[in-house]
Structure 1
Amino acid sequence: MQAKQALIVWGGWDGHQPKEVAGLLAGLLQDAGFEVEISDTLDRFKDAESLKAVDLIVPIWTMGTIGKDQLGPLLQAVKENGTGIAGCHGGMGDSFRMEVEYQFMVGGQWVAHPGNDGVRYTVNMRQPDHPLVRGIEDFEVSSEKYYMHVDPAIDVLATTTFEGYGPGGSDVLMPVVWTKKYGAGKVYYCSLGHQANIVAMPPVLELMKRGMVWAAR
């Protein structure tokens, strides 16, 4: 059986250590039997024909801008060809802030991280019997806590709580891990992963491995 093909494209804001995160995620995919290509340029998306052979795209590109000739083939690969897309933190959930169709595909967009880096919070599994989180216990992390605007169509697998941000000082349940569909393609997102040390946490590695494998065509 031919190995599935994964494409990791990294760049953007260096503070999220995109190169290091790309290495970690590439290792997970290789261990799962994927052939992995790593690119540090968005121009890799320009070749729509070659993207048809890719089973999974993993963007690791915080902020920045993307040209129409780069974004168009990316969206087409997922929506029309069924290529999966999976990623984490700002590398997928805070990319290309002016591109609303990209945000629609992802299913959410970062808007704030109150307290910045180093906030200690709990990640709670919302569907403990779901295969993407089964056996992963709730865990604590000290990192950026992402407050996001999210698509109501996402399937939420894990959440965290923002205390006092709701009406009258009520708590807000915020998605951390979700899946969705974008046309023919499957989408997986995890808001954890501010830097490589967070991605390297055992529960985060497991979440990312399962999510990437699931999203692949």
Structure 2
Amino acid sequence: MTRKNALVVRGGWEGHQPVRATELFLPFLRENGYAVRIEESTEVYADADAMAGTDLVVQCVTMSQIEAEQLTGLRAAVVAGTGFTGWHGGIADSFRASSDYLHLVGGQFATHPGKEPCERQGGQEDNYLPHTVDITELGREHPITAGIEDFELHTEQYWVLHDDLIDVLATTTHPTQPWHPWHRPVTCPAVWTRRWGAGRVVVTTPGHSLDVLEHPAVRTIIERGMLWATRTASAS
């Protein structure tokens, strides 16, 4: 087995438990032959030598900010073949002020609709809704999601703004409700891939809490996404 180098970058909003969340996946990476480096900030992205030797970046940094030279380094690494993946706000709600980051990942968290106002009690659970993640036709054939059936979750349901350069492996649909301002159901990507230069990007939007990350379908998608995104021989 050829040894691969994985870089786990974590931080940002503590509500997504970036340390505990990423720790869930370290055994999988090591069991699959990755040497794992962990960084608690995005400063490493500006280190060209470190990034050139990285085959996969697993990012869990919700919101926060990124310096221009760090983002330039990340984008250059992906273009050169470094894989880039993550879940939920750690990748789809990172660096809100950076349009260039959005351009890299192809989709951005906009909101997560909540319960009926009279049922809300002021906690995170106000935004937990039962919903379905539907595997697309492409997803049924893709190595990340092949063999996974549509599945139900009760957690945050991401509403994502996105472009057309993503390959959508799974979707989720937001229904209309009397207390919502939209007038028809809205289907958003829930899992997607993106080719960027020689690199591969994988975004999985479920993953708000540890129990969601441990859901068999969610965990399988994230783990397969890590393998698929990893630098290929042709990108070396």
Q: With the length of structure 2 as denominator, give the TM-score of the two structures.
A: 0.87
Bigger Rg over Cα = 2
Indicate whether 1:135 and 2:147 are aligned: yes
Among 164, 173, 176, the alignment partner of 1:161 is 173
Amino acid at match of 2:224: R
Amino acid at match of 1:105: L
Does the Cα contact within 8 Å between 2:44 and 2:50 map onto a contact in 1?
Answer: no
Unpaired stretches in structure 2, ≥5 consecutive residues? 115-125, 232-236
Does the Cα contact within 8 Å between 2:2 and 2:33 map onto a contact in 1?
Answer: no
Deviation per CA, 1:138-169: give whole Å up to 9, x if none.
Answer: 11111110001011111100011111289983
Does the Cα contact within 8 Å between 2:171 and 2:191 map onto a contact in 1?
Answer: yes
Q: State the aligned residue count.
A: 216
- Equivalence for 1:53: 53
Paired with 1:149 and 1:97, the residues of 2 have a C-alpha distance of: 12
Q: CA deviation at 1:60?
A: 0.5
- Equivalence for 1:216: 230
Paired with 1:147 and 1:174, the residues of 2 have a C-alpha distance of: 6
Q: CA deviation at 1:31?
A: 2.5
Query: Superposed, which structure 2 residues align to 1:181-200 within 5 Å?
Result: 181-200=195-214
Q: Which moved more, 1:166-175 or 1:123-132?
A: 166-175
Amino acid at match of 1:187: V
Query: Superposed, which structure 2 residues align to 1:1-217 within 5 Å?
Result: 1-79=1-79, 81-115=80-114, 116-127=126-137, 128-164=140-176, 169-217=183-231
Paired with 1:159 and 1:34, the residues of 2 have a C-alpha distance of: 30
Does the Cα contact within 8 Å between 2:167 and 2:192 map onto a contact in 1?
Answer: yes
Q: CA deviation at 1:15?
A: 0.2
Q: Which moved more, 1:159-168 or 1:100-109?
A: 159-168
Paired with 2:175 and 2:98, the residues of 1 have a C-alpha distance of: 30
Paired with 2:200 and 2:65, the residues of 1 have a C-alpha distance of: 24
Amino acid at match of 2:39: S
Deviation per CA, 1:92-121: give whole Å up to 9, x if none.
Answer: 000001111111111100011001532111
Paired with 1:57 and 1:161, the residues of 2 have a C-alpha distance of: 29
Unpaired stretches in structure 1, ≥5 consecutive residues? none
Q: Provide the secondary structure at the position in 2 that maps to 1:158.
A: strand
Amino acid at match of 2:195: K
Paired with 2:210 and 2:71, the residues of 1 have a C-alpha distance of: 26
Amino acid at match of 1:119: L
